[in-house]
Amino acid sequence: YGFTYPVAFMVLDQARITFPRFSRVSVNMMPFVMGRRRSLPWNLQHYWPMIQACGLEQKDPGEIGKIGYLTVDEQEIEEDQTTHRRGGLHTDSPGVHIPGLQPSAPAPCLRRSPSEDRWDAWHRGDLAERPAPPSRAYARDREHEQ
């Protein structure tokens, strides 16, 4: 039995991008038609160059016209806080969890801690009690690892 899913982020080696001017916009998993700029609301149009830089037209043209999901979070945060569930580069699961089965192409992880594992397990429904968010528990876990 095999199971794969596409990695939800990429490294841009050649494309030059600039971030749009800060506007405090916050959208989570907003559907849009991939390859169709006009499917984005006017206040998100300035993110289109970043979407295009992903190179979907060249890398996987069969995805053009399908629904993609855009998350933009321009909340102001303190240095020791995190956005969403955890700090650093991360992706959220595409919604499939099969107990005991690991995807054959896992996304790379830059930083992982036991508190993040517990937090993710709680979100999947594998833990009965809600653990402390990783942003608060991370330092405690690092102390125990040393």
Is residue 61's pLDDT more than 90? no
Is residue 21's pLDDT more than 80? yes
- Alpha-carbon span 73 to 82, nearest angstrom: 11
Beta-carbon contacts of residue 109 (< 8 Å; ≥ 6 apart) = 90
- Alpha-carbon span 111 to 53, nearest angstrom: 25
Q: How confident is the model at residue 110 (pLDDT cuts 50, 70, 90)?
A: very low
CA angle 97, 98, 101 (to 5 degrees): 115
Is residue 94's pLDDT more than 80? no
CA angle 133, 82, 126 (to 5 degrees): 30
pTM of the entire structure?
0.52
User: What are the C-alpha distances in Å from 62 to residues 34, 58, 105?
Assistant: 10, 10, 20
pLDDT at res. 143: 59
User: What are the C-alpha distances in Å from 44 to residues 3, 32, 54, 62, 69?
Assistant: 34, 11, 16, 24, 13
> 23-38 burial string, b = 16+ CB within 10 Å, else e?
eeeebeeeebebbeee
- Alpha-carbon span 23 to 1, nearest angstrom: 46
Q: How confident is the model at residue 47 (pLDDT cuts 50, 70, 90)?
A: very high
Domain ranges of the chain: 26-73
Report residue 73: phi and psi, to 5°.
Answer: -130, 100
Is residue 109's pLDDT more than 50? no
